[in-house]
Structure 1
Amino acid sequence: MNRFVESLRQLLGAEPRRPSREDLTPEVVRIYDEKRQHKLTKEDLEANAAAHEKSAKRHKWRNRRWAVLIAVNLLFVLSFQLDVQLVEGSLTASRVLGFHMADLNAALQIMLAYKHVVLNLLIGTATVFLLWLLLGGRSFCSWVCPYHLVAELTEKIHLKLVDKKLIKGRSFHRGVRTVFYVIFALLAFATGYTVFETISPTGILSRAVIYGPTLALLWVLFLLLFEIFVSQRAWCRYVCPIGLTYGIVGSMSPVRVSYNMVDCKHEGDCRKVCLVPHVLDVTIRNRSTDIDVPLGADCTRCGLCVDVCPTNSLNFEFAGSKKLD
Structure 2
Amino acid sequence: MNKVHQARFFEQIAIMFGRGPKKPTEITERAQQVHELKRMANKVEVRAAILKAHEKPHGNTWRNRRWAFLLAVNLFFVVSFYFDIQILEGSLSASRLIGFHLIDLNSALQVMLAHKHIIVNLVIGTATVLAIWMLLGGRTFCSWVCPYHFVAEFAEKLHLWMAKKKLVSDQPMSRGLRTWFWAIFAFAALGTGYTVFEAISPTGILSRALIYGPGLALLWVAALLLFEVTFSRRAWCRYVCPIGLTYGVVGIVSPVRVKYTLQGCFHEGDCKKVCLVPHVLETVVKGRAVDTEVILGPDCTRCGACVDVCPTGSLKFDIKGLSKIL
Shorter chain as normaliser: what TM range? over 0.9
**After superposition, where does 1:164-175 map in structure 2 within 5 Å?**
164-175=165-176
TM-score by length of 2: 0.95
Q: Is 1:273 matched with 2:265? A: no
Cα distance in 1, alignment partners of residues 35 and 169 from structure 2: 35
**After superposition, where does 1:218-237 map in structure 2 within 5 Å?**
218-237=219-238
Q: Is 1:82 matched with 2:83? A: yes
Instruction: Give the root-mean-square deviation of aligned CA atoms.
Output: 1.6
Which residue number in structure 2 is paired with residue 33 of structure 1? Answer: 36
Q: Is 1:15 matched with 2:16? A: no
- Give the superposition deviation at 1:2: 2.4
Cα distance in 2, alignment partners of residues 155 and 44 from structure 1: 33
Cα distance in 2, alignment partners of residues 48 and 40 from structure 1: 14
Unaligned stretches of 5+ residues in structure 1: none
- Give the superposition deviation at 1:4: 2.4
Distance change (3 Å), C-alpha of 1:43 and 1:102: same
- The match for 2:51 among 44, 47, 50 is 47
Amino acid at match of 2:260: Y
**After superposition, where does 1:92-103 map in structure 2 within 5 Å?**
92-103=93-104
Cα distance in 1, alignment partners of residues 322 and 310 from structure 2: 20
Greater displacement, 62-71 / 43-52? 43-52
C-alpha contact 2:54 2:311 (8 A) present in aligned 1: no
C-alpha contact 1:10 1:16 (8 A) present in aligned 2: yes
Greater displacement, 166-175 / 313-322? 313-322
- Give the superposition deviation at 1:153: 1.1
Which residue number in structure 2 is paired with residue 146 of structure 1? Answer: 147
Distance change (3 Å), C-alpha of 1:45 and 1:169: farther
Distance change (3 Å), C-alpha of 1:323 and 1:235: farther
- Give the superposition deviation at 1:28: 1.1
Local SS of the residue matching 1:251: helix
Which residue number in structure 1 is paired with residue 8 of structure 2? Answer: 3
Amino acid at match of 1:256: R
Local SS of the residue matching 1:315: strand
- Give the superposition deviation at 1:52: 3.5
Cα distance in 2, alignment partners of residues 293 and 100 from structure 1: 37
Cα distance in 2, alignment partners of residues 4 and 155 from structure 1: 30
Cα distance in 2, alignment partners of residues 268 and 98 from structure 1: 47
Cα distance in 1, alignment partners of residues 134 and 68 from structure 2: 22
- Give the superposition deviation at 1:309: 0.2
Deviations 1:200-255 (A, max 9, x none): 00000000001100000000000000000000000000000000000000011000
Local SS of the residue matching 2:253: coil
Which residue number in structure 2 is paired with residue 290 of structure 1? Answer: 291
Local SS of the residue matching 2:189: helix
Which residue number in structure 2 is paired with residue 136 of structure 1? Answer: 137
- Give the superposition deviation at 1:321: 4.7
Cα distance in 2, alignment partners of residues 210 and 40 from structure 1: 56
Distance change (3 Å), C-alpha of 1:95 and 1:321: same
Amino acid at match of 1:6: E
Cα distance in 1, alignment partners of residues 312 and 239 from structure 2: 31
Amino acid at match of 1:14: R
Distance change (3 Å), C-alpha of 1:142 and 1:89: same
C-alpha contact 1:315 1:323 (8 A) present in aligned 2: no
Q: Is 1:111 matched with 2:116? A: no
Local SS of the residue matching 1:17: coil
Amino acid at match of 2:12: S
Amino acid at match of 1:29: Q
Local SS of the residue matching 2:257: strand
Q: How many residues align?
A: 320
**After superposition, where does 1:120-199 map in structure 2 within 5 Å?**
120-199=121-200
Cα distance in 2, alignment partners of residues 35 and 152 from structure 1: 35
C-alpha contact 1:48 1:310 (8 A) present in aligned 2: no
Cα distance in 2, alignment partners of residues 140 and 303 from structure 1: 13
> Alignment identity in percent?
58
Cα distance in 1, alignment partners of residues 81 and 64 from structure 2: 26
Cα distance in 2, alignment partners of residues 52 and 251 from structure 1: 34
C-alpha contact 1:266 1:284 (8 A) present in aligned 2: yes
- Give the superposition deviation at 1:320: 5.2
Local SS of the residue matching 2:96: strand
Local SS of the residue matching 1:293: strand
Cα distance in 2, alignment partners of residues 273 and 4 from structure 1: 24
Distance change (3 Å), C-alpha of 1:184 and 1:168: same
Distance change (3 Å), C-alpha of 1:72 and 1:7: same
